[in-house]
């Protein structure tokens, strides 16, 4: 799984995602009432947890060292 705080750029995207979700919750709460905001917040947290879980189970592209292009056949088998 890709760490969302691996770099500043990743952390920025993470914060903007949280901000977008919070903006939706705030808008719904102000328009329809806090109960609806709580439901949307719970749904978004559940969705985020589901996505994180799916990514955790998916094979990561960076989970193992990539074989070096410079390495010969002997190196690749080590």
Residue 76: count other Cβ atoms within 10 Å of its Cβ.
9
9 scored as a contact of other proteins (CB under 8 A): yes
55 scored as a contact of other proteins (CB under 8 A): no
Give me the least distance between CB of 38 and other proteins, in Å please.
6
Return the closest-CA partner of residue 32 out of 20, 22, 24.
Answer: 24
1 and 54 Cβ atoms separated by less than 8 Å: no
Rule CB under 8 A: which residues touch other proteins?
A: 3, 5-9, 11-12, 14-16, 18-19, 22, 25-26, 29-30, 34, 37-38, 41, 62, 68, 71
């Amino acid at each position: 799984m890709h760490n969302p705080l691996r770099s500043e750029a990743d952390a920025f995207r993470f914060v903007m995602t949280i901000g977008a979700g919070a903006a939706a919750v705030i808008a719904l709460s102000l328009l329809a009432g806090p109960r609806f905001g709580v439901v949307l917040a719970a749904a978004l947290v559940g969705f985020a947890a589901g996505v994180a879980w799916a990514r955790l189970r998916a094979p990561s592209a960076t989970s193992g060292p990539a074989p070096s292009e410079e390495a010969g056949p002997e190196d690749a088998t080590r």
